[in-house]
């Protein structure tokens, strides 16, 4: 079984679309929605669609929410999905088949395609990449849950950039991330994307990860 973990805070605007995209995949899944202190009807939406909901009474941040999901996940494989993104039909099955066929692969990474959320006419100054691309987006990476037993969970001292730090630990332990040629995830661009609203923290965290990596290489 695949555990799909969706960290979310006040995600009622897009959450239903994200969950429904998982339900259409045609593979055995459990959907864990980690409610990080929402004040809207996020919990009601997730519960109504049959998800397991775990709530943080007080917001702890998206990284802590991912770790909460990991602790509760029962699947052999894990995929994290942002509440505003959409998995393309059949993509999860394709990634599952690839990782099952290659015992040396600790994770399978597919491609991402940006799209402008339909309710937004335009976003001046925002670049929508015209072609699919590989990026450190968890909605496009299917991971063996056993990996986390070896390298640990995400670092909660990072507000953003935790995926780069985690991938660095993957590299250090010799875990293989196998890339596929498929586009699995449509990444929604809108006014309140977490990456757009937390760029300052993102740059600081990336710098911190780079310093840590350099220190490891010098040892």
For 75-104, give the DSSP string: SSEEEE--TT-EEPTTHHHHHHHHHHH-TT
What pLDDT band is residue 30 in, cutting at 50, 70 and 90?
Answer: very high
3-class state of residue 44 by DSSP: helix
CATH code for 2-149+170-190? Answer: 3.90.550.10
Give the DSSP letter of residue 8: E
Q: Distance between CA atoms of 213 and 98, rounded to whole angstroms? A: 30
Flag whether pLDDT at 200 surpasses 70.
Answer: no
Do 32 and 65 contact (CB within 8 A), yes or no? no
Pairing of strands 176-189, 86-87: antiparallel
- Tell me the average pLDDT of the chain: 86
Question: Per-residue pLDDT tens for 48-57?
Answer: 999 999 999 9
Q: Distance between CA atoms of 96 and 84, rounded to whole angstroms? A: 22
Measuring CA to CA, which residue among 159, 166, 167, 164 is closest to residue 197? 159
- Compute the Cα dihedral for 208, 216, 63, 6 and give only its sign: positive
Q: Distance between CA atoms of 11 and 14, rounded to whole angstroms? A: 6
Higher pLDDT, 47 or 136: 47
Flag whether pLDDT at 218 surpasses 60.
Answer: no
Strand order in the sheet with 105-116: 52-56, 29-36, 2-8, 77-80, 141-144, 105-116, 176-189, 86-87
Q: Distance between CA atoms of 40 and 83, rounded to whole angstroms? A: 14
Higher pLDDT, 63 or 161: 63
Of the candidate ranges 28-32, 116-120, 158-162, 192-196, the one whose mean pLDDT is the lowest = 192-196
Higher pLDDT, 202 or 42: 42
pLDDT score of 122: 66
What pLDDT band is residue 142 in, cutting at 50, 70 and 90?
Answer: very high
pLDDT score of 214: 43
Flag whether pLDDT at 81 surpasses 80.
Answer: yes
Flag whether pLDDT at 145 surpasses 90.
Answer: yes
What pLDDT band is residue 123 in, cutting at 50, 70 and 90?
Answer: low
pLDDT score of 100: 96
Q: Distance between CA atoms of 143 and 43, rounded to whole angstroms? A: 26
pLDDT score of 158: 63
Mean local confidence (pLDDT), 133-157? 90
127-135's contacts with Cβ under 8 Å and 24+ in sequence apart are 128/189, 132/183, 134/109, 134/179
First to last CA, the chain: 40
Give the DSSP letter of residue 41: S
């Amino acid at each position: 079984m695949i555990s799909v973990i969706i960290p979310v805070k006040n995600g009622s605007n897009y959450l239903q679309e994200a969950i429904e995209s998982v339900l259409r995949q045609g593979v055995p899944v459990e959907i864990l929605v980690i409610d990080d202190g929402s004040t809207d009807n996020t919990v009601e939406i997730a519960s109504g669609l049959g998800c397991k909901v775990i709530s943080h009474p007080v917001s702890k941040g998206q990284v802590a929410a991912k770790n909460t999901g990991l602790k509760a996940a029962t699947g052999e494989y894990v995929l994290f999905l942002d509440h505003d993104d959409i998995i393309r039909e059949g993509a999860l099955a394709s990634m599952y088949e690839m990782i099952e066929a290659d015992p040396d692969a600790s994770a399978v990474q597919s491609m991402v395609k940006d799209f402008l959320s339909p309710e937004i006419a335009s976003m001046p100054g925002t670049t929508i990449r015209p072609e699919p691309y590989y990026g450190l987006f968890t909605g496009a990476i299917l991971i063996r849950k056993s990996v986390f037993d070896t390298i640990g969970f995400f670092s909660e001292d990072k507000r953003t950039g935790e995926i780069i730090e985690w991938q660095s630990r993957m590299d250090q332990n010799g875990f293989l991330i196998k890339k596929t040629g498929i586009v699995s995830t449509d990444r929604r661009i809108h006014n309140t994307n977490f990456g757009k609203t937390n760029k300052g923290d993102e740059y600081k965290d990336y710098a911190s990860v780079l310093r840590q990596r350099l220190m490891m290489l010098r040892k």
